Amino acid sequence: MSAWLAWFGGLLILWLLLVGTIAPTERIAGLFAAAIGATAAEVVRSLGLFEFRVEWRWLRRTPRQLARVIPDFSLALSTLARPRRPTFRVLEFPTGGERAVDHGRRAWAGLAGSFAPNRLVVDLDPDAGSVLVHDLLPGVSPDQVL
C-alpha cells in the first residue's frame, strides 16, 4: 500500500507541474490519472517486470550528456537554415544480460543517451551488444552512447 501511495503522490505532483495550474478540474483529473498510473505501476511491479537497478558508474556519465544539450540545441536549430541528411548509426554498448542491473543500464542508456537534441537512441540489441542511434547532424555526436 505504501508503494502505491508513493506512486500516487509522485504522479499527482508531476501532473500538477505539467499542467501548470491547480484549478479544480485539473486537480480532479490529476487524482484520477495518478490513481490509474499508480495502479498500473503496482501491477507491473507485482508481475516482476519492474526490476531494475542503475549502477553509479553509469549515472556519473550523465553530466556529460546534459552538457551536450545546449550546444546540440544550437546545432539542431542550424538545420532549419541549412537542412542536412540525418543518419542512423550502430554503436557498441554493453546491452546484454538479464539481471536487474542490466535492465537498468539499458533503460538509462535509452533515456540519457537521448538527452541531447542531436541524438535519439532508437533501439538496443542485447544479442549484438549494440545500440542503434539517430543523429540529426552526422559526425557531430561522439561515438559512444553514454
Q: What is the pLDDT of residues 93-119, one digit of tens each?
A: 887 777 877 888 888 888 888 888 888
Handedness of CA 133, 139, 143, 144 (dihedral sign): negative
Q: How far is CA 32 from CA 27, 39, 40, 70, 91, in A?
A: 9, 11, 12, 36, 41
Sequence ranges of the domains in the chain: 2-46, 56-135
Q: What is the pLDDT of residues 57-100, one digit of tens each?
A: 777 877 887 888 888 888 888 888 888 888 898 888 887 777 87
Per-residue DSSP letter, 142: -
